Amino acid sequence: MAVGKETFGVMHPVKGFRLGTTQAGVRYRNRRDLVVMEAAAGSTIAGTFTRNAFCAAPVTICKHNLSSLAGRSEQPLFLVTNTGCANAGTGALGMENARAVCQAMAQLAGVEPANIFPFSTGVIGEHLPAERINAALPNGLAALQENGWEGAAHGIMTTDTRPKGASVQLKMANGTVTITGIAKGAGMIKPNMATMLAYVATDAAVAPDLLQELASAATQASFNSITVDSDTSTNDCCMLVATGQSGVAVSAADAAELERFRAALMDVYLQLAHAVVRDGEGATKFVAVEVVAAASVDEAREVAYTVAHSPLVKTALFASDPNWGRILAAVGRASIENLDVNGVSVSLNGVLIAEQGAVAASYTEAAGAAEMQKEEITIRIVLERGTAEATIWTTDFSYDYVKINADYRS
């Protein structure tokens, strides 16, 4: 189940970036579960990663390799993703298995192990079948192609019901650049530095420090502004690669062109982040929680996340029940000092439901119920404490979410 029509639009190939998908039999037979991505020599790379203290072995290796390369390599870069096994909570053997995959990939590709970035997603606490993955790596390499985005989007899925991709082309002063990306994630989504897994590539030339700045800012405003169930995964990684193959350089020297590129990149990140929410486990509603007139952005995000995480609000959304008292209660328990409830107002898709700490005089239950029946809902909360604002995107909480997660390991 997912919200809205399934759309996987045109994925423009990125010069210097190839993807190959194959079967390794990590957990299930006859399922694409291994994806190899190659970035041309000279590419720059940036990333954001989970803050979960139990981060998976591949996350640790990715962070180490990113640091050791300082964001750039004269050799090709390879990103290797397996599904079916998270390789998290696996101790020393987990690190050994992840390194074994990196070593095997490095030998096949003729590059240093530091040029290999491993990613895993699936069940936590189970050991990675490195031998099966390594045996499938040659097929992954043989399948590499610039038009491999859709296959890769399917290959990284776990409980996802649909592939997630976004692609834009931007005409700049010195030529056209492409930005294309895919993501996976449906549950255990409150990213806190990234999404479950996301890969975005561009053929623009971007220096490592600027690329990391762009990646961090885009992540914060997209993947770090969504939640399905308030759980932060052990495996979250979001990678941004710039191959430079278009010949178009993006730098701070041309502020106007940089801002145009930043906006296009943000568009791709937001499309992917919204696609994760729309495909949230058991989701029937796509919900934006907008908080405005806050004292600070942090305060606005605190209130928005408190509402978005509330099981009572989420179940009311699933039931299409305009129980506005649950929203007020969530706002009231957010960690906000000296909140004057008489200044708070709440609306639902533009229908004012509460003001001055009570039900709005103009509100009718019929109007609220009509808006709650819709697949897409915006909850707007006005705090009247300042000029800051923030939006968090979330889902409802349905019977199917429980069923999916109760059966996850079967």
pLDDT of residue 288: 98
Told to judge if 158 belongs to the known catalytic residues of this protein, a careful annotator would answer no
What's the whole-number average pLDDT of the chain? 95
Task: Give me the amino acid identity at 282.
Answer: G
Q: How far is 165 from 273, CA to CA, in rounded Å?
A: 10
Q: How far is 238 from 183, CA to CA, in rounded Å?
A: 8
Handedness of CA 288, 293, 297, 303 (dihedral sign): negative
Cα dihedral value 192, 350, 368, 379, nearest 10: 10
Contact 133, 34 (CB under 8 A): yes
- Tens digit of each residue's pLDDT (9 = 90 or more) over 206-222: 999 999 999 999 999 99
Whether pLDDT at 410 is above 70: no
The CATH H-level (homologous superfamily) assignment of domain 286-406 is ArgJ beta chain, C-terminal domain (3.10.20.340)
Categorize the per-residue pLDDT at 3 as very low, low, confident or very high, splitting at 50, 70 and 90: confident
Token pair of 62, please? 């990715």
The number of residues making up the chain comes to 410
**What stretch of H or E contains 165?**
strand 164-172
pLDDT of residue 258: 98
- Tens digit of each residue's pLDDT (9 = 90 or more) over 230-258: 999 999 999 999 999 999 999 999 999 99
Whether pLDDT at 389 is above 90: yes
Percent of the chain's residues with pLDDT above 90? 90
pLDDT of residue 394: 97
Whether pLDDT at 163 is above 80: yes
- Tens digit of each residue's pLDDT (9 = 90 or more) over 59-117: 999 999 999 999 999 999 999 999 999 999 999 999 999 999 999 999 999 999 999 99
**Strand (E) positions, 233-387?**
237-242, 249-250, 286-294, 345-348, 351-355, 358-359, 376-382
Burial 332-361 (b: 16+ CB within 10 A, else e): eebebeebeeeebbbbbbebbbbbeeebbe
Categorize the per-residue pLDDT at 321 as very low, low, confident or very high, splitting at 50, 70 and 90: very high
pLDDT of residue 405: 86
| Strand bridging mode 237-242 / 197-202 | parallel
Task: Give me the amino acid identity at 106.
Answer: A
Equal fold, 17-278 vs 286-406 = no
Mean pLDDT, range 370-385, rounded to an integer: 97
**Domain boundary assignment for the chain:** 17-278, 286-406
Q: How far is 368 from 362, CA to CA, in rounded Å?
A: 11
CB atoms within 10 A of CB 162: 18
pLDDT of residue 195: 78
Token pair of 208, please? 């490592």
Strands of 197-202's sheet, edge to edge?
44-49, 237-242, 197-202, 175-184, 164-172
Token pair of 126, please? 């189970």
Options 195, 219, 243, 394, the catalytic residue:
195
**What stretch of H or E contains 21?**
strand 17-22
pTM: 0.95
pLDDT of residue 1: 67
- Tens digit of each residue's pLDDT (9 = 90 or more) over 264-286: 999 999 999 999 999 999 899 99
Q: How far is 385 from 387, CA to CA, in rounded Å?
A: 7
Whether pLDDT at 46 is above 80: yes
Q: How far is 142 from 154, CA to CA, in rounded Å?
A: 18
Q: 17-278 — its CATH code?
A: 3.60.70.12
pLDDT of residue 9: 86
